[in-house]
Amino acid sequence: MTDQRFLRVDPAGLEPSGDALPTLAGTHLFGGLLRHQFGHLLKQSSGRLWSLGVWPRADSVLFFVEDQWRHYLSRGADPLNAGWMKTLFASLGFREVHIILKPTRVENLLVPANDGYWFGINGRHPLYDEVALPRLLDAAGGATGEDRLYVSRRAFTDGKEGTGGILLEGVIERNLLRDGYAVIHPETLDLTRQIALYASARRIVCPDISALHLLALVGRPGQEVCIVNRRTNPAYHRHFVDQLSCLGLSVSVADHIDRVETRELRGGRKVDMTVLDLDRLGTSLREAGFLGETRWLSPSGSDIEAEVRRFQAG
User: What is the four-CA torsion angle of 294, 260, 237, 180, rounded to 10 degrees?
Assistant: -20
Average pLDDT in the chain = 86
Instruction: Report d(CA 47, CA 43) in Å as an integer.
Output: 8
Sign of dihedral through CA atoms 289, 290, 294, 300? negative
Instruction: Report d(CA 84, CA 188) in Å as an integer.
Output: 11
Q: What is the pLDDT of residues 36-52, one digit of tens each?
A: 778 878 877 888 888 88
Q: Quote the pLDDT of residue 262.
A: 94
Q: Tell how strand 270-276 and strand 257-264 pair up.
A: antiparallel
Q: Quote the pLDDT of residue 120.
A: 43
For the chain, residues with pLDDT lower than 70 are 1-19, 71-79, 81-82, 116-122, 159-162
Other CB atoms within 10 Å distance of the CB of residue 56: 14
Q: What is the pLDDT of residues 118-169, one digit of tens each?
A: 444 457 888 888 888 999 999 999 877 899 999 999 998 876 666 789 999 9
Instruction: Report d(CA 148, CA 177) in Å as an integer.
Output: 10
Residue 271: which residues within 8 A CB-CB, separation 6 or more?
161, 162, 163, 164, 262, 263, 265
CB 208 within 8 A of CB 165: no
CB 249 within 8 A of CB 202: no
Instruction: Report d(CA 303, CA 168) in Å as an integer.
Output: 10
Q: Quote the pLDDT of residue 99.
A: 86
Kindly report the pTM of this predicted structure. Answer: 0.88
Phi, psi of 226 (to 5 degrees): -115, 120
In DSSP terms, which residues pair with 151 in a beta bridge? 184
Q: How far is CA 189 from CA 78, 144, 183, 194, in A?
A: 21, 15, 12, 6
Order of all β-strands in the sheet with 250-254: 182-184, 148-151, 203-207, 224-228, 250-254
In the chain, the domains with their CATH numbers are 23-135 (no CATH), 148-313 (3.40.50)
